[in-house]
Every structure is written in C-alpha cells, then in structure tokens.
Structure 1
Amino acid sequence: MRPDRTAFIHRFYSDRCWIEGTAEDQLEQVAAMRGVLSIAAFPDLHPGKYGPVGSAILADRIYPQLIGNDIGCGMSLFALDLPARKLRLDKAAQKLRMLEGSWQGASAARLKALDLRENLHAQALGTIGGGNHFCELQVVDANADSTALETFGLKKGDLALLVHSGSRSLGTAVFSTVLDRFAGLDPDSTEGHVYWQDHCQAIRWASLNRTLIAERAAEALRCELTLVTDAPHNMIEIWDGAFLHRKGAAKADIPLVPLAGSRDALSYLLVTKSDKPDALASLAHGAGRKYDRRSMIGRAGATRSERNELARTSFGGLVVCEDRQLLIEEAPNAYKDPKRVLEELVNAGLATNVASLKPLLTFKKAARQAQSIARQDKKRRLLDRRSRR
C-alpha cells in the first residue's frame, strides 16, 4: 500500500500497447477503494461497466461489482479426435446450429455430481449466450514449442474446440442480490457469506456449462473430445489471505492458458510462469476490446455485402451468427491485435507461447428453429397465393 493509501498498480504492458484512457481512470478509481491491496493490469485492458476488464484486484473484502454478473465465465479448450482432412466446414456449420437450442440431457445427474442443486438453472445449461461468448472449431496452426505442446496432448494439425461462456442466468441471479453493494461485502457478514457460497456454486456451474457445450458440439460432429485446459477469468478466490478478484483476467496458476483472438485472428496457447507475484497469478485472457459495442455501429457491417463478409474470415473460415447487431458488435476490428497482446505478455515474462490456433468455424448464434419454420411457412403461403393468381 502506498502512503496515500491507494493500492499500487502493476502494469504488464508497454507504451506501445493501445490502452483506452477510461480504462486507466478505472484502474486509479479501483486502487483508491477501501481495502484494495494490489492491482495487476494486462495488455487486453479495456473499460468495463463497474471497473476495468483485463485486471486482477486483491482486496481484504469482497467486491461483487468487480466481476459482475457473469460469474465463472472462462475459456475451456478441448482436443478432438476428428481428423482435419475429414472436416467439411459447410456441413460442420450446419451441424453446430443445434447449439442454439436447449440441452436435453440428464441435467440433474450432472449438477449433483458437482454438489449442486439438481435443478439449479438447469434450463440454461449447455447454452452459449450472447455478447462475446462463442464455441469455436480451431486447428493447431503452428508450434512454438512442440515438445511442450505434446505434453498437453496436442500437435500441429489437430482440431480443437475453444468454448467461451459463463454462468448464464445463474450468475445474473446471484449478482442481482448485491447490485447496490458498491462498498463491498464484509466476508464475515451473513450477506458476505451467502454471496460467497452462491458465487462458488456459479463457478462450478459455469465450468460444467462449457463442458456440456463442447459435448454437444462433439456429438454433432461425431467425434470424441478430451479436456486440455479450463481457465476461468471472471471470479473471486482466496489468495494469500485476501480476496483476489479477476475481471477478464485468466487464472494463471494452472499450466496452460488460452489467449483468445477475434474470430478473424489467431488464438494462442500459453504456458504460464509463476515467478512474478505482482501479476497476482493472473494473465490476459484475450485480445481485449478496442471499441465498445455501441461505437461499432457504423464501423462495420453497414451494407449487406459487408455483413456477408463478416460471416467469413481471411483464413477461409465461417462464422455462424444470424443476429445482425451481434455480428457487427463482435466484428474483428472491435478487438485489439492478439499478437500484440501476446508479445507484451512474453516481454513481461508472464508466459511463453507454445502454439497458435487458427479459427475454422465460429458459432455464436443461429436463428431459432421455430423462427426458421415460421419463415418457411410464410414463404410457402406466399408461393401458394402466387400460384393461385
């Protein structure tokens, strides 16, 4: 703690990294909050609703606003046993459209196995959600360290699934109980204890949700999958006797962390280093936004041809996103360059890169089956009327 009682901010990025001024202001505001002990900020830093995204904050009390409603959000990487030569992207895109619907599996058993209530927001399990969440089919594009990569069961040319999602309606319900607690929660209070228990349940629920999404995708693609790593980046945990808040900062006290690019940029697999205590056992989780969602209107997808282009990538990949607004809000130019973020992390001594992952098929949102059927019925009725004229 500094003499002025504001926490010290450890910035793990250089002047060459593009950081919005509002995000820097939010860092300073959080540093002055009661009980905040230390902050780590990463090169994917950008402004959030209640605080900076791309940061880890250590405090002696619980601040629910610092992680928001999507408790437990993170990225899980799964290796697939599907040979890349057998993949047909157009067919795979059609198969993955089933992810839009609800999961019909045995939710009670899966929840009970994690010591969760058997009906705990079961209706939302196995679903991706909106915003920047996705299920992406990728191929291991290049090895920076093939030996290290093989220890995680991957090699160049392998197919993998990267799933980014969180606790859906459960996290929203938990956060709704503490919306006005901007001064934080005393962990020894009844309210603090209840929130902590609910928060920890939401983290387990979110991890299960990512697994179920991947299982649904693998079943659609008719292949088997193996978990490579599960890295949450919206959570609180007890660390060094205090409460470590990660908002868009990946848990880095695990061997392997995905660094997600945009849907038209490479992602990376990073082996973490543990000799930087000021980083608070955390790491950047992705490229980070360059432009907020509102300001993307007019920057991309202004015409139909531009929107059609957004459904394809420069790698020859496909994007399934039939929500026009979401397609524009999540356009590739909304994000920073993940290669630049990677270089900053490596130069800061926080991680080493073992492989790049090329996006082949990004699933975000498809039209619901009922809506599709309704459109087909309307078209059929129109054709019938025309044929009777």
Structure 2
Amino acid sequence: MTMDDTPQAPAPTLVASAGQWIEGAAVQQLAAVAAWPGMRRAVGLPDLHPGKVTPIGAAFASDGLLHPALVGNDIGCGMSLWSTTLKRAKAKPVALAARLHGLDGPWDGDTSARLAAAGLEPTPCDAALGTIGGGNHFAELQAIEQVCDAAVLTALGLDAERLLLLVHSGSRGLGERILRDHVERHGAAPLAADSDDGRAYLARHELARRWAVVNRALIAERFAASLHTEVSCRLDICHNSVSAALVDGCPCWLHRKGAAPADAGPVVVPGSRGSFSYLLQPTPDSEATLYSIAHGAGRKWKRSDSRARLQRRFTPQSLSRTALGSEVICEDRELLFEEAPQAYKDIERVIADLVDAGLARVLAVLRPLVSYKLRARVRA
C-alpha cells in the first residue's frame, strides 16, 4: 500500500450550535476515536463531554469490528419512564421524599426467579439488582409541566394529572465485570465481530443489556411500594450499547456511548436534578447522526471541579432543594456536589440544538418533584 492509499480517518460530525458549551477535550477525544481501526463514522451530540478515554454523548459506526471501550462499563444503561397512580394535585415533594427509604440495600426478593421470568440465568452480580447505583444515576418523580402533543401522550398512556417516575440506571457491576474481563484479555484492542471472542462479547453484552432492563423495572417497583402506588412502564430506552445497523448502505456496528436511539420511539432527555426533562419524538431516519440523539444535558464540569467550585458557595442543605422547588435525596456529600445542577449544561440549549437540527420535536416538558440518588452515606 502506498502513502496515497492509506485510509483516512473519517471527519467526525458534531451536532451543536455556536452557543453550546463543548469542551475542547471532548472534541479531541471524538476525533481520536474516529481514527480507530475500522471506524466509518463518529458523531458528537449536543451533550458531548469528555470521558476517561472516549467521549460521552456520541455514536460511532465501525466496519466489522466491536469496540467494547465505546460501550463502556455500564452496558445497557438507559432511561425508563413509568406512569403512576399518584395525583399531581396532591403531590407534596417533602412528604413524598420522606416516604422513600430502604431503597439502596439489596432487594429482599428472589432475584433468580425475577431473572428467570425475563429469560435470564443468575449472575454473580445479582445482589445489586433493583438498586440505582452511584454517579449520575437516579430515580425521579416528575409532573407533566407542559403538553406539546396531547395525542402522542395519550397513545403512550401518560396522564397530565398523574405523576411519572423516571429511572436512570444500568447493569451495575455486571457491565463493569464484562468490560474488565475484556480489558484483561485484549487490552484496548477491538474484536472482530465474526470471531469467537466477538460473538462471546455480544452474548455477554446482550445479557447485561437485558439485566439492566430488569434492574430499572425492579427499581420502579420498589419506589412504587414505598409510595403506595401502581406503576406501568411507558418506555425503556438504552443509551450505552452496540448493535448491528446499516450505515451508508453497508452493514456495520453502531456503538452508542451516552447516546439515545432515534429509531426506537419517544425518548426522555433529562437535564440536571434542578432542571426540566423533555419527552421527545426523535426523527427516526437520521442516518447522518447515526440514528442517535442526546441522552441528557451532559456535564459541564468534571466531578472534582464541581466540588472545588461549589463547596464554598453552597451547603449540602442548600443543594437538597432546587430552584424549581424539587427535593434531592442524596446523603453522600461528595456525590451531592458532583451532581449539582451547576455542574451540567443548559438542557434547554441541548434540546434547542436537537430541534433546530431537525433531529427531534418536543412532546412534553417534565418538572422534577423528588430526585432520589442515595440514602446511605456510602459510595455506590
């Protein structure tokens, strides 16, 4: 092969307006990943921000190769939205928050039976089934603040007079174990999808993805029991995954790292704990952006920077109630500062970028009432 024949790395696509805050390190990571072996496309979304090695808020298409690092250690992480029977007119955030206890320890039910009902075998990580975890994971009681498309909301079974529950969690230690095993055997190297190792990774990935769905469902049920309500799942969307797709007319592997699918129906894109969330109808034929949209607001500050910037300005008590009047349950002081609203981008700007790019339209605006992260004063 001559120098002129050397394949060129694809130029990454960045979906963001001039007014959007995108850290330079995230753009550099996006360009670096675009040069990885087999890469066909790399797309950064408006919530793009730096990760440890690869950016978050991005989608990547590769030819024939699986890159487990692009999925990360929380395989199957996603958002599920649940309707409840709680009446909005009677909702008092302080009273609701007071009823949420005993949700961080292991579930006292039969995890093997629960997994079997979903067609899954037990795993070594099942003690964490039904728990939220740390980082940016949460469960949040919400009210419908604004209806933009009543017909779609009705079709989804959403009632503006009833509260909703949004659950954000993933495969907990199971996904971490899968990535760790891969790194121990292969380092940062990709896997040929048609190899034995590639097929084995895809099988473990599918296990973790389905485990994460069960985890979110059990979290919702534990919340429902604490609040004496019924819940019903209205959507469940994964934003950390790899799947087969057709891009540029060619079969490839679509990796999403903090990117919600645009071709799987309505999606909730949450802001910080102190801002609104948005129920969106994505544009399903958005091949130019790898059929993906933003999965949240995206971080503006690193976790360590958040603590340094905020600890002198705010007390834990002041961060436990937001400007919107919602309650935040987080009894881990460091996590409370790391996940403060100020550490995140402006969700309204992120949504505007998606809408302006023709990637989605707003179905409803959701107001936070109670955001639950952690009762126990330990790291999850």
Q: Given the two structures, how large is their TM-score scaled by the length of structure 2?
A: 0.93
Moved over 4 A (4+): none
Deviates most, 88-97 or 154-163: 88-97
1:266 pairs, out of 239, 252, 276, with 276
CA distance in 2 between partners of 1:167 and 1:335 (Å): 24
Question: 1:141 touches 1:157 (CA, 8 Å); kept in 2?
Answer: no
Cα deviation, residue 291, structure 1? 0.4
In structure 2, the partner of 1:249 is 259
Q: Does 1:232 align with 2:235?
A: no
Asked if 1 retains the 8 angstrom alpha-carbon contact of 2:16 and 2:45, the reply is yes
Please state how far the C-alpha of 1:120 moved relative to its aligned partner. Answer: 5.0
TM superposition shift of 1:97: 2.1
1:1-389 equivalent positions in 2, closer than 5 A: 5-60=8-63, 61-179=65-183, 180-240=186-246, 241-302=251-312, 306-367=315-376
Task: Name the stretch that deviates more: 203-212 or 180-189.
Answer: 180-189
- 1:4: Cα distance to partner? 5.1
CA offsets per residue over residues 194-239 of structure 1, 9 Å max, x none?
A: 1111111000001110110001001111111111111110111111
Cα deviation for residue 8 of structure 1 reads 3.3
Conserved 8 A contact 1:50-1:68: no
Q: Which runs of 5+ in 2 are unaligned?
A: none
Match of 1:372 in 2: none
Pick which of 268-277 and 353-362 moved more: 268-277
Contact 1:320 1:364 in 2 (8 A): yes
What is the RMSD computed on CA atoms of the aligned residues?
1.7
Contact 1:50 1:66 in 2 (8 A): no
1 CA distance for matches of 2:192 and 2:355?
A: 37
- CA displacement, residues 326-362 of structure 1 (integer Å, 9 cap, x when unaligned): 0000010100010000000000001000111110000
What is the Cα deviation at residue 50 of structure 1?
2.1
Other-structure match for 1:381? none
8 Å CA contact 1:140, 1:357 repeated in 2: yes
Query: Percent identity of the aligned residues?
Result: 45
Amino acid at match of 1:167: S
**Partner Cα separation in structure 2 for residue 95 and residue 210 of structure 1:** 20
Moved more, 323-332 or 148-157: 148-157
Q: Structure 2 counterpart of 1:315, which letter?
A: L
After superposition, what is the alpha-carbon deviation per residue over 1:6-63, rounded to whole angstroms, capped at 9, x for unaligned? 1232222222211000010011101111100012211000001121100100012000
Answer whether contact 1:100 1:368 (CA < 8 A) is retained: no
Q: Residue 119 of structure 1: CA displacement?
A: 4.6
Moved more, 113-122 or 203-212: 113-122
Offset, 1:315 = 1.5
Amino acid across the alignment from 1:193? R
Counterpart CA distance in 2 for 1:12 and 1:149 is 27
Contact between 2:285 and 2:291, CA under 8 Å: does it hold in 1? no
Contact 2:329 2:374 in 1 (8 A): yes
| Residues 89 and 161 in structure 2, CA contact (< 8 A), matched pair in contact too | no
Structure-2 separation of matches of 1:34 and 1:226:
43
Q: Which amino acid aligns with 1:279?
A: T
* Contact 1:101-1:368 at 8 Å conserved across structures: no
Paired AA for residue 297 in structure 1: R
> Which amino acid is the alignment partner of residue 29 of structure 1?
A
Q: CA deviation at 1:368?
A: 6.3
Gaps of 5+ in 1: 370-389
Distance in 2 between residues matched to 1:140 and 1:150, nearest whole Å: 13
Q: Matched residue pairs, number? A: 367
Question: 1:234 touches 1:247 (CA, 8 Å); kept in 2?
Answer: yes
Aligned equivalent of 1:373? none
State the secondary structure of the residue aligned to 1:97.
coil
| Residues 224 and 186 of structure 1: CA distance in aligned 2, closer, same or farther (over 3 Å) | same
Q: Which has the larger radius of gyration?
A: 1
Query: Counterparts of 1:189 and 1:198 in 2: how far apart (Å)?
Result: 14
